Structure 1
Amino acid sequence: MKLIKLDAIDSTNEFLKGLSNKQELENFTVVTAENQTKGKGQMGSVWTSEQAKNLIMSVFVRDLLLGIDQIYHLNVAMTLAVIQALESFHIPALSIKWPNDIMSYNFKIAGILIENSLKSDGSVSSIVGLGLNVNQINFDDLPKASSLAVICGTSFDKEEILFRIVEKMKNNLEILKKQPDLLWMDYRNRLFKKAVPMPFKDNSDRNFMGIIQGVSPFGKLQLLLEDDSIVEYNIKEIQMLY
């Protein structure tokens, strides 16, 4: 594992993407930043973070996925790696809010953004970006956000957490090659509010009730609706109201 530490950057994902276009990168090359000015979330949303308080990192992964149809496998392996690493630090009540937010109780503590590049030979290389709220304690404008420090009442060593996460990533990617069903089962079992009737809102601002059943192999959320039908939704098609 090669670790590149930056003081400030617009986006660790963008930096690592640019680096991978210029040179052959070692698998699991990691970039971290103390301050990120243009952090990215899913579908163009923005990830903001207090300087030097949180873990902002991107990891380069290559030669894992055999094709574009397996892309969500990586999402499963990586979100579980973060959960497993945090459990080793005794962070309580962890779950995965579909598709890739990490929750403690009802608070978001981390978000993952995976960007994939399909090569001409059909292989896929990926950049896994993670923003984890570690020692930030002020969330005045973000009532649904929290951090490890707030939840546990103590500060944490960011680099220790980083190495634990990468260790779990490597372990999960080995499992993914041989027994992907094991990871998928664990992922589905850890879904935030699974099997609990919850209100949702769709793109037309229509509110409805649904019960999370799981996630499809292509990453769609599977909801049981009031008419007993099971409907699949893409990212940003619906929003959970919690």
Structure 2
Amino acid sequence: MFLESYCNNAAGKINFTRQQASDFAKKIADDFNPLHDVDAKRFCVPGDLLFSLTLEKSGLSQEMKFTFSGMVNDGVELIFPDHIESHAAIVDENDKEYLTIDVSGENTKEVTTISALTKAYVEFSGHTFPHILVALMAEKQVMINPTRPMVMYESMSIHLDTLNFHEVNLELATSTLSIEGKRGVADLIFNLMSNGKKIGHGKKHMLLSGLRPYEQSVIDAIVQEYNDKKAKFVA
């Protein structure tokens, strides 16, 4: 599909340079999370890139759950399954797990269908911050650490009533943020829409760490820095 530029495939193993992973985050997902910056100290490959490659390799199933168990750094060589019966894992050469996938229902490898869902999901996912998370943090009167913002993708699930579609978009249904001390759990519930009809739903589950009391001026500065970074990249 459109992923060849964002990974390297050699002898059945896939790896990523920092530039490739960062380009995917910014150019495809519109995601400017500092964890995906080329010079980030705690750099990680976007979870949405792993999600996209999984669909490209093993197809799209009606029921899918993705659970992330490790951060993928540049240079790590991953083995993706070509087919998933019910459960599979993405691992490195030492069998270390980075992502587990559970599937059920019908499966398709129709390129147009998979490409439509991938692009719609990644676009929605990339707008999580600041569009959705800032409102949730304001509601709960907490915020991420401005000097070390940590927002991590833990799991995502989707349910599709049908695999017979060629265009789709995601609409936010509801979102919640629960707080435990300095950690937060955000759940973003979305509907999958095609030609004005709901064809499925899903949930994105995220972890926020290093939370502190909410300060509007600090949040405004974080958002401004994020937007400035995005504008500079686009320019």
* TM-score of the pair, normalised by structure 2: 0.28
Q: Name the structure with the higher strand share.
A: 2
